[in-house]
Structure 1
Amino acid sequence: MEVSKSALASFEYDRILELLVPLCFCPATQERARALLPLAPGTLPLHLEVMRELRDLIRFDGDIPFGEFPDLRPVLEVLRLPSVRLSLEEAQKVYRFLLMSQGIRHFLKERGVEKKYPRISSLYFRNIQDFSGFLRYAERILSQDGQVLDTASEKLWNIRRRKEEVQSRIVEVLHRILQDSRITRYLQEPLYTLRKGRYVLPVKAQFRNMLRGFVVDCSSSGSTLFIEPWAVAELANELEVLETLEEEEVSRILFAFTEKLRPLFSALRETFEGLVELDLLRAKVKLGERWKGEIPEVGGETLRIREGRHPLLFERAVPFDLEVSGDRSIVVVSGPNGGGKTVLVKALALLVTLTFSGIPVPLARGSSIPLYDYLFVDIGDHQDLESSLSTFTSRMVLLRAALQKAGPRSLFLIDELGAGTDPHEGAALGIALLEYLKKRGTTCIATTHLPALREYALRGEGVLPASLAFDPDTLQPTYCLVVGSVEGSYGITIAERVGLPQEVIQGARQVLRREEVAFNELLLSLSREREEMRKKLGELRERLAELEKREEEVQVLRKALEEERRRLTRTLREEWEARLREREKEIARLVGELRRSRELDEEKYGELREILREERQWLEGLKEEREEPQEFQAGDQVFVDPLGRGVVLEVDTKKGEVLVAVGERRVRVAPERLRKEEKKGVPQEPPQTPITTFALRERITNEVTIRALKAEEALAVLERYLDRAILAGFTTVYVIHGKGEGKLRRVTHEFLRSHPYVQEFRPGRPEEGGLGVTVVTLRT
């Protein structure tokens, strides 16, 4: 999207970039962040899909482990030049970079991101090359603190051992001298020190000739001479030779390091560029998280803002809704001074520009932004003293150039349209400009104080009036955008409120035309009515919410009573069954005895059987009422345990599964985990493509701790966790059971062998926790 640098500065786009820079790890990424510009409409949709995948990866699989990210640009410049070696600092940068890139490769592989996030994997993750072979070589050469290791070569090892021996001998000689009482009486203090890289003793100046050696330095007062004894000097000279040899050997090792790295130049550059771009994408996601940003849909003909906020104000800003479609592409916003019109224009400019820059913005879901080719923003004072241009002239010059690019895929945001010149001429120019843009299908949002433009907004065809609301009682702006109405400037009313003399106020009202006074009074009256309606609407909403809450309470109570009724019926039935069985046994025993004694009265026997039959029928009537199994079909609104509300997409009767859209994720669940909900309003449309956004009620990570639990408790926790992990889309999870005596580990392994969700499991590697952790691979 094309937008001028002066326009970007006018709505503080550069301040957003300054917030983005500290979130980048690499200096090269920070430079790119400072120079970030909106993308072209053709590349934006794919870029936003990549941003959605990266946002989901960070949310559900963890943040990318960048850590320390050194700038490899100087290293790459050296590798371009033959026969030029890397310095020790540059070699250490390469080593740290390769450690970081291998750590990221391991992170991505462990979480199986290639299958879950295909777009970002193909564009960025595959650019991260495998340098494991060179890393093994580098680990023998360089240490973590940036030094060349003794193991880099046998010669270096021998030189350093010899240095240690010489340094030990120097210290021994100095200690022997300091233990000699004949010498210590000539010293200022019985110790040795380093001066100009030489080991010296502090000798009193008057005893210069009492110690054989070389004067290396003296104190500022001249009372102390720092003398290197002859016996030490010879050893120190040998040490200097060894240090020179060490430097030469280190230089040779770094040259060999450079030559071994040079064939990997292309792979190193590709990996560095890919990680820099990934670092920038991650910074965008993190910046969006600060203001709970969303990535709106792009494309279409309608600019739709839901709960939009100015990113720099965020929670302090009053959210606004605005929808501008093709048939009403012109919006004229009126309102009082200080009501927030300029903030609204800046917020719109930032929301559109940041979306085109790939940064999540403070919007609600349901927002959409067309793929604009050109954005024109006119905010503030454009006075140019050097060119002798007034504010109005400067605005007209900028507008002249912008109108040449006006079209259906252009967005014009103009603050204080018609200002800076005679109000009548300014209003006439403003109306003509809006008509010009309307004919070309250009979307334009303009703010104004001019009455003629407000009237045009109310009466013009294809023009949408809007205003920043004003509290008529307190005479204070509410900063709420009200679409479909106009609002006066209330300059005289505000001036009276702040205490200007009544003589000035009355004089102003006399100068103002009667029609304008009446119009402003009408607007004030409408504002009062609108405010009353808003309050009543708020009260109605509160009452409706209270009724809905009470209805939910009634439903809960009704369900509890129904459960209690079933429980009592079940208890009563069980008691009567037991009593009936006892009576049947007793009657059978008595009948047997009577038959044996030939005293059985068949008529009495029939009566007893009839009584038992009636009691059995009555008992059958107490059977627990069982709910009929619910049947589902596409479009049903349901509650999914434990994920929340969703919409049924399809029912697979053969497999006994139901495909449900929960938020922006599709999941397959058993019918038993669903509960139908009454439809409220228009049914939610199922998403057309499976989007990976997935929000659980409680945060589910890829590890569960069962350490110190009893076996039964641990298995119960593990069973619940695996249910949630499989729904959350994890492929690898970590069960932390601790080492101890190994009993909990054995119980866990026996449980995992027979679990249907588990594909395989293994003990953790040393860096993963060893025998105290079991790594589980879940079925996809």
Structure 2
Amino acid sequence: MNDKALMTLEYDKIILRLTEAAATSLGKEEASKLRPSANLAEVRRRLAATDEAVRAVALKGVPPFGGITDVRPSLGRAKLGGVLGPSELADIAGLIMGSRRIRKYMAAVNDEIDIPLLSDLCEPLIDAKPIEDEIRRCIDEQGEVMDAASPELASIRRDIRIYADRAREKLDSLIRSSSVQKMLQDVLVTMRGDRYVIPVKQEYRSHFGGIVHDTSGSGATLFIEPEAVVQMNNKLRELKLREQDEIERILRRLSGLVGEKAELLASDAESLGYIDFIFAKAALADSMFATLPEVNGDGELRLKRARHPLIDPKRVVPIDVELGGAYSAIIVTGPNTGGKTVSLKTVGLLSLMAMSGLFIPADDGSRMCVFDGIYADIGDEQSIEQSLSTFSSHMTNLIGMLGQVTSRSLVLLDELGAGTDPAEGSALAIAILEHLHRIGCRILATTHYSELKAYAYNREGIINASMEFDVATLRPTYRLLVGVPGRSNAFAIAERLGLPRSIIEHARGQVSEEELKVDSMIASLERDRRLAESERQTAERLRKEIESLRQQLEDERFKFQEQKAKLLEDARDEARQAVAKARREAEEIIADLRRMAMEEGASLKEHKLIEARKRLEDSVPDPVAKPRRTGHGKESRIEAGDEVKVFSLGGQKGHVVELAGGEALVQLGILKMKVPLSDLEAVRKSASAAPARTPVNVTTVRRSREDVRTELDLRGATLDEALVETDRFLDEAFLANLGTVYIIHGKGTGALRTGIQEFLRKHKHVKSYRLGNYGEGGAGVTVAELK
């Protein structure tokens, strides 16, 4: 990628913001190395990784990168057998802990959404928790070796405390003496070189034995270690040396543990840094309100409401740009400070960002091209030291890029041909544009020359554009208008500012007739554009009003359907109550008949009583189907492979296997059933038009409440036959939403009853079961309650 273009388009400022968004030094290092790629597959992979990070943050929040530092130098020394310090080991424990947290975070995200690229980055991270635990056991959060690191260290430090207390107590008793206090500069015990001393006035040196360790700056005070504590201090010194030796041994042991895994831990550090870098891209996208662009290698570029990322979002004016379709070059004209240069930089910088795997600050649906090079000649780069004029500097840049540009390049030219005689400058600008156009690259150029407007108007594949200027306010609007060349506003501005009309008319007379015609044509085009824009806004307003009215009608229709359903439900509730009353009366009659039959020695067939009860149950009206919304007036076409909800089954979800007429074959768990299309609502469209794969060993069931019985008579069947029939019967009853079913197996030897009840105990649709009560068939019938 052209380094000069990166500097001109301020790509380094985007990298700086990306670096600041990284949470770790490892991530910042990765971010600082980011450069655009000209490889389409690589760009897509980079953008896919950023998209995964954006979705992960939206789902689970920012990942926990705390504690992760760059420990690669320490790991390198440990690998070579070096002894690491306590703080270095604590940092390595922090890296291991951070790695474990990131793995846990990614696993939680991966349970809900697919993040293949991030998962692949986490896959090689090792589990070194035993090393972390051992370091944590020996070293505290302040980077100090703890007493618990070894029994020997704990014993040594205990002795150190004992001897230190004894030395202090001895010196405290000495300085409390009134005869001694007059010889001391200060009544206190201090330390010099890890040895306890007291500050003695110089003239009383002979009154104390022991060792002089230090003197004050003036020489008036001597820091003396009295003879009484010399042995104690010697013992303390010996214990301190033993303590250092033991700490050295502990650190060497821990460093050895780290050294065994040094290469793997260094690889983990790099992986974690790269993961942090990817999430930094997600954080940058969030701060810029950026979106994921589509990318291609066909030279097509379409930006929707693109904003320059380095301009205050409250002030930036979005632009729409298309290149690579009907035209491959845009010639932008307009007044100075109108935003032409910003438009060029916006296109160039957003292209660099997309090629770097960064989201771009533009609306959804924007398309970016992966160019093999981006070349920019923007700004006045004249140099006094090199004696280069404005024109010369532009020519130098152009000559440098002309030898590198290909058909897959993007060329950005600001003020093409400026800095020399207008006639020669415009001719040279046209020649340069013609050369680049023949190469086939994508071009975005700005100019003040009216000759280039005519050139773009007559040349296929090149289109005019301009920066809008409001003559009424004498201010640019910074809006890019593609298809409309810029017109001169000098006369209008001069007149608004108060220049005498006679001077303005004289100036108009100096302008050629052809230029006046061009200016008049541009003014006409601008009026037409404003009129079209006004009509578009009116049409948009009317569309929104119609949509609002349609929504109101839909809401009213839904309320009406709800009221209708409620009235029908109330009526059917009354009917059900009447039937329930009749059922109770019938049960009483049946009970009376049975009692009479028993008293008279007669017998009644239990299954006939059950059939009578079923006829009563069938007389209960079905519940009224609740109305449902129609998808806001849009046809929700159901296709094979779609995930759907079945309303008659309480909104249970399934997948459409195939369509036949007005019905769909729907896969519900291990079952398939045919359902009317009117009873379905699409939940999620399938990724392709291919029908859903049909699992093996499934049972196809046609839902039909009228065909489903509430009792199953198994008398005379073998146990194996009975179990098959019972399983089929329970599936049908479950799909028909039956709450209670009756299985007639008779009394006999009880073997069939035992087998049936053992089967019911394990069946997934059965909530509970019991023998029939008096009047239900007794021990000859099993009553099952379904889930």
Report the AA paired with residue 427 of structure 1: S
How many angstroms apart in 2 are the aligned matches of 1:649 and 1:485? 52
After TM superposition, the score normalised by the length of structure 1 is 0.72
1:39 Cα deviation from its structure 2 partner: 1.8
Q: 1:521 to 1:635 in 2, by over 3 A?
A: farther
Q: Of residues 132, 140, 158 in structure 2, which corresponds to 1:143?
A: 140
Q: Of residues 226, 229, 235 in structure 2, which corresponds to 1:229?
A: 226
Q: Is the contact between residue 633 and residue 651 of structure 1 (CA under 8 Å) also seen in structure 2?
A: no
| Equivalent residue number for residue 471 of structure 2 | 472
Pair 1:520 & 2:525 matched: no
| Equivalent residue number for residue 29 of structure 2 | 31
| Equivalent residue number for residue 612 of structure 1 | none
Report the AA paired with residue 30 of structure 2: R
How many angstroms apart in 2 are the aligned matches of 1:649 and 1:419? 65
Q: Is the contact between residue 471 and residue 528 of structure 1 (CA under 8 Å) also seen in structure 2?
A: no
| Equivalent residue number for residue 756 of structure 2 | none
How many angstroms apart in 2 are the aligned matches of 1:308 and 1:353? 14
Q: Of residues 127, 149, 164 in structure 2, which corresponds to 1:152?
A: 149
Select between 316-325 and 180-189 the one with higher mean Cα deviation: 180-189
After the TM superposition, which residues 308-387 of structure 1 pair with which residues of structure 2 at under 5 Å, given as runs?
308-313=306-311, 314-387=313-386
How many equivalent pairs are there? 636
Q: 1:112 to 1:305 in 2, by over 3 A?
A: closer
Q: Is the contact between residue 72 and residue 94 of structure 1 (CA under 8 Å) also seen in structure 2?
A: yes
Q: 1:247 to 1:499 in 2, by over 3 A?
A: farther
Q: Is the contact between residue 337 and residue 491 of structure 1 (CA under 8 Å) also seen in structure 2?
A: no
> 2:376 is paired with a residue of what secondary structure?
strand
Q: 1:576 to 1:35 in 2, by over 3 A?
A: closer
| Equivalent residue number for residue 248 of structure 2 | 251
> 1:137 is paired with a residue of what secondary structure?
helix
| Equivalent residue number for residue 279 of structure 1 | 276
1:500 Cα deviation from its structure 2 partner: 7.0
How many angstroms apart in 2 are the aligned matches of 1:636 and 1:344? 45
1:547 Cα deviation from its structure 2 partner: 3.0
Report the AA paired with residue 166 of structure 1: Y
- Gaps (5+ residues) in structure 2? 585-619, 631-635, 647-653, 659-663, 670-674, 691-762, 766-787
| Equivalent residue number for residue 456 of structure 2 | 457
Q: Is the contact between residue 412 and residue 444 of structure 1 (CA under 8 Å) also seen in structure 2?
A: yes
| Equivalent residue number for residue 482 of structure 2 | 483
Q: 1:713-737 CA deviation, whole Å, 9 max, x = no partner?
A: xxxxxxxxxxxxxxxxxxxxxxxxx
Report the RMSD for the aligned CA atoms in angstroms.
Answer: 4.3
How many angstroms apart in 1 are the aligned matches of 2:581 and 2:146? 91
Q: 1:625 to 1:219 in 2, by over 3 A?
A: closer
Q: Is the contact between residue 106 and residue 118 of structure 2 (CA under 8 Å) also seen in structure 1?
A: no
| Equivalent residue number for residue 20 of structure 2 | 22
Q: Is the contact between residue 490 and residue 520 of structure 1 (CA under 8 Å) also seen in structure 2?
A: no
| Equivalent residue number for residue 106 of structure 2 | 108
Report the AA paired with residue 634 of structure 1: E
How many angstroms apart in 1 are the aligned matches of 2:413 and 2:679? 53
1:511 Cα deviation from its structure 2 partner: 4.5
Q: 1:285 to 1:624 in 2, by over 3 A?
A: closer
Q: Is the contact between residue 427 and residue 453 of structure 1 (CA under 8 Å) also seen in structure 2?
A: yes
After the TM superposition, which residues 93-242 of structure 1 pair with which residues of structure 2 at under 5 Å, given as runs?
93-112=91-110, 116-122=114-120, 124-187=121-184, 189-194=186-191, 197-203=194-200, 214-217=211-214, 226-242=223-239
Report the AA paired with residue 123 of structure 2: R
Q: Is the contact between residue 339 and residue 467 of structure 2 (CA under 8 Å) also seen in structure 1?
A: yes
Q: 1:192-216 CA deviation, whole Å, 9 max, x = no partner?
A: 3445654344455665555555555
How many angstroms apart in 1 are the aligned matches of 2:495 and 2:91? 68
Q: Is the contact between residue 323 and residue 329 of structure 2 (CA under 8 Å) also seen in structure 1?
A: yes
Q: Is the contact between residue 383 and residue 389 of structure 1 (CA under 8 Å) also seen in structure 2?
A: yes
Q: 1:474 to 1:248 in 2, by over 3 A?
A: same
How many angstroms apart in 2 are the aligned matches of 1:19 and 1:50? 19
1:346 Cα deviation from its structure 2 partner: 0.8
Q: 1:594-636 CA deviation, whole Å, 9 max, x = no partner?
A: xxxxxxxxxxxxxxxxxxxxxxxxxx99996876999952399
How many angstroms apart in 1 are the aligned matches of 2:276 and 2:232? 52
How many angstroms apart in 2 are the aligned matches of 1:112 and 1:294? 22
Report the AA paired with residue 309 of structure 1: R
> 1:116 is paired with a residue of what secondary structure?
coil
1:14 Cα deviation from its structure 2 partner: 0.9
Report the AA paired with residue 102 of structure 1: R
Select between 196-205 and 495-504 the one with higher mean Cα deviation: 495-504
> 2:404 is paired with a residue of what secondary structure?
coil
- Gaps (5+ residues) in structure 1? 586-619, 642-647, 659-668, 678-683, 691-753, 757-780
After TM superposition, the score normalised by the length of structure 2 is 0.71
| Equivalent residue number for residue 84 of structure 1 | 82
> 1:332 is paired with a residue of what secondary structure?
strand
* Larger Rg belongs to: 2
1:310 Cα deviation from its structure 2 partner: 0.9
| Equivalent residue number for residue 443 of structure 1 | 442
Select between 159-168 and 22-31 the one with higher mean Cα deviation: 22-31
Report the AA paired with residue 561 of structure 1: F
Pair 1:634 & 2:639 matched: yes
Q: Is the contact between residue 373 and residue 409 of structure 1 (CA under 8 Å) also seen in structure 2?
A: yes
| Equivalent residue number for residue 388 of structure 1 | 387
1:169 Cα deviation from its structure 2 partner: 1.5
| Equivalent residue number for residue 48 of structure 2 | 49
Q: 1:231 to 1:300 in 2, by over 3 A?
A: same
Q: 1:636 to 1:525 in 2, by over 3 A?
A: farther
Q: 1:195 to 1:509 in 2, by over 3 A?
A: farther
1:404 Cα deviation from its structure 2 partner: 2.6
Counting aligned pairs with the same residue, the percent is 33
Select between 56-65 and 194-203 the one with higher mean Cα deviation: 194-203
Q: 1:655 to 1:636 in 2, by over 3 A?
A: closer
Report the AA paired with residue 49 of structure 2: V
> 1:364 is paired with a residue of what secondary structure?
coil
Q: Is the contact between residue 470 and residue 527 of structure 1 (CA under 8 Å) also seen in structure 2?
A: no
Select between 649-658 and 273-282 the one with higher mean Cα deviation: 649-658
Q: Is the contact between residue 290 and residue 360 of structure 2 (CA under 8 Å) also seen in structure 1?
A: yes
> 1:359 is paired with a residue of what secondary structure?
coil
Q: 1:193-246 CA deviation, whole Å, 9 max, x = no partner?
A: 445654344455665555555555555666655444333444333323332332
> 1:316 is paired with a residue of what secondary structure?
coil
How many angstroms apart in 2 are the aligned matches of 1:284 and 1:371? 19
How many angstroms apart in 1 are the aligned matches of 2:404 and 2:688? 35
How many angstroms apart in 2 are the aligned matches of 1:273 and 1:403? 40
| Equivalent residue number for residue 553 of structure 1 | 552
Pair 1:291 & 2:288 matched: yes
How many angstroms apart in 2 are the aligned matches of 1:275 and 1:235? 52
Report the AA paired with residue 135 of structure 1: E
Q: Of residues 261, 266, 270 in structure 2, which corresponds to 1:264?
A: 261
How many angstroms apart in 1 are the aligned matches of 2:451 and 2:108? 65
How many angstroms apart in 1 are the aligned matches of 2:141 and 2:498? 71
Q: Is the contact between residue 422 and residue 449 of structure 2 (CA under 8 Å) also seen in structure 1?
A: yes
After the TM superposition, which residues 548-627 of structure 1 pair with which residues of structure 2 at under 5 Å, given as runs?
548-568=547-567, 570-571=569-570
How many angstroms apart in 1 are the aligned matches of 2:503 and 2:244? 87
> 1:43 is paired with a residue of what secondary structure?
helix
Q: 1:509 to 1:147 in 2, by over 3 A?
A: farther
Q: Is the contact between residue 159 and residue 242 of structure 1 (CA under 8 Å) also seen in structure 2?
A: yes
Q: Is the contact between residue 214 and residue 224 of structure 2 (CA under 8 Å) also seen in structure 1?
A: yes
| Equivalent residue number for residue 723 of structure 1 | none
> 2:123 is paired with a residue of what secondary structure?
helix
Report the AA paired with residue 278 of structure 2: L
| Equivalent residue number for residue 397 of structure 2 | 398
Q: 1:311-345 CA deviation, whole Å, 9 max, x = no partner?
A: 12245322222222244111112222222111111
How many angstroms apart in 2 are the aligned matches of 1:483 and 1:688? 37
How many angstroms apart in 1 are the aligned matches of 2:7 and 2:110? 42
How many angstroms apart in 2 are the aligned matches of 1:79 and 1:497? 78
| Equivalent residue number for residue 712 of structure 1 | none
Report the AA paired with residue 237 of structure 1: N
How many angstroms apart in 1 are the aligned matches of 2:681 and 2:529? 42
Q: Is the contact between residue 218 and residue 225 of structure 1 (CA under 8 Å) also seen in structure 2?
A: yes
